[in-house]
Amino acid sequence: MLSQLSPAVRQYLLVTGNYWAFTLTDGALRMLVVLYFHQLGYSALEVALLFVFYEFFGVVTNLFGGWLGARWGLNRTMNIGLGLQITALALLLVPTEWLTVVWVMAAQALSGIAKDLNKMSAKSTIKLLVPDHQQGQLYRWVAILTGSKNTLKGIGFFLGGLLLTLIGFQGAVLALASMLSMVWLGSLVFLKRDAGKATFKPKFRDVLSKSRAINILSAARLFLFGARDVWFVVALPVFLAAQLGWDHWQVGSFLALWVIGYGGVQAIAPRFTQANQVTRYGALLTLAPLGLAAALWYGSLAVSASIIVGLGLFGVLFAINSSLHSYLIVAHSRADGVSLDVGFYYMANAAGRLLGTVLSGYVYQQAGLVACLLISAGLLLASTVIVAQLPSRRQHNQ
């Protein structure tokens, strides 16, 4: 069956499969760490600090990873990412008394490097598989990759909470490491060699030499993902567990369903959106956390109902924005050495996640969930104003 498909489609399926498997383990690991260490008595800020290196090294990885992808080929950077994630999981298979903040931060640092090598490689590869004149197909393929990735991440959240309940922290980590090891071996054998290697030898200064369009999209992405993570990463799961008394499996299941739905909307976004609507949807998204903050502050609905409705609205609008932004960066990137532009862009993405993660723990601990939501709205407003300055592809290519 696979032999009847074109080489481009076969590579797309391999890249997507790798990305899916990695994302499943990454989502499960994040939920395991949040819930397990909250269970051990860590504060919201301490839980947030466990992810600081994960996000920080994501910034560094995208900066260097795009350059390495252009020099070595994207198959190598993708396989290195898979191998590093297996190593990160193995580092958590130690006695419980070894799982100090510093040890877990180090394991999360490796996981952050792995995640961004994998994501940069997957999204850069798609640019090479679609002819430049087929922008509709490019938008659909990017949306399917991004949306399906987030659906798998949601399933990973559910899997992490379920495995923690059924077989404990170390049993869950061992199961994830075993599954990913099998995927890694297949990738080493079947993934096309030298995909994405630039025809020129990029110098490191090329990493920071960007067009106006790439810089605008990168800045907008930083604020967009900072706005999500400032309340979603630490504040929300801790709020659900500590304030509403939800069990681990309930928190994991709820966040999993949200991310699955979010991924589904991302995947179908090209059916009802166009790239020139990115500012409109950014403005609508800005209103969502404000509405939820108002509902929680004034108590117009039960807290649980407010969270469910508000998070659902935020998820739909954020998914559309993320899908549009993900397409635009691939469309505006140069084909030769695409990973340089995509890596720079996802460096900004990781910086936004780092900002949001730290703020999520600190602001929640100091002022609560409503304050996190208000900061989210401010970051979304900044993202929308910035992306409104984006030139058209025709202007960008002149």
* Tokens matching residue 351: 């910086």
- Please report which confidence band the pLDDT of residue 239 belongs to, taking 50, 70 and 90 as the band edges: confident
Whole-number pLDDT of residue 209: 55
Q: Read off the pLDDT of each residue in 228-252 and give the average, rounded to a whole number.
A: 83
Q: Bigger pLDDT: 154 or 317?
A: 317
| DSSP assignment letter at 321 | H
In which band, very low, low, confident or very high, does the pLDDT at 8 lie, cut at 50, 70 and 90?
A: low
**pLDDT of res. 398:** 47
**Alpha carbon 338 to its chain's center:** 19
Helix (H) or strand (E) holding 291: helix 278-298
Helix (H) or strand (E) holding 218: helix 212-232
Whole-number pLDDT of residue 43: 77
Beta carbons within 10 angstroms of residue 382's beta carbon:
18
φ/ψ of 245, rounded to 5, equals 70, 25
Opening angle at CA 309, ends 306 and 312, nearest 5: 135
Higher pLDDT, 124 or 213: 213
How confident is the model over 1-8, as a mean pLDDT? Answer: 56
* pLDDT value, residue 336: 62
Give the pLDDT confidence of 353-377 residue by residue, as tens digits.
889 988 888 899 898 999 999 999 9
- Per-residue pLDDT, 195: 55
* Between 125 and 355, residue with greater pLDDT: 355
How far apart are alpha carbons 226 and 29 in whole angstroms? 21
How is domain 2-397 classified at the architecture level of CATH? Answer: Up-down Bundle (1.20)
> Please, are residues 232 and 375 in contact by the beta-carbon 8 Å criterion?
no
Tell me the average pLDDT across 341-347: 81
CA gap 335, 322 in Å, rounded:
22
Per-residue confidence at 14, pLDDT binned at 50, 70, 90?
Answer: confident
**Any idea which of 28-37, 165-174, 365-374 has the lowest mean pLDDT?**
28-37
Domain boundaries, the chain: 2-397
Question: What average pLDDT does the segment 2-21 reach?
Answer: 70
Q: pLDDT tens for residues 294-304?
A: 988 887 668 88
Task: Give the pLDDT mean for 2-15.
Answer: 65
How far is residue 12's CA from residue 294's CA, in Å, rounded to a whole number?
Answer: 44
**Tokens 């407010």, located at residue:** 306
Tell me the pTM.
0.75
What the block records as the tokens of 81 is 């990412």
Q: Tell me, what's the pLDDT at 84?
A: 92
78 vs 7, which has greater pLDDT?
A: 78
* Residues contacting residue 7 through CB under 8 Å, at least 6 positions apart: 192
Asked if 170 and 93 touch (Cβ cutoff 8 Å), the reply is yes
60, two tokens: 């560094």
Supply the pLDDT for residue 220. Answer: 95
Between the alpha carbon of residue 169 and those of residues 40, 93, 253, 256, the distances in Å are: 12, 9, 17, 18
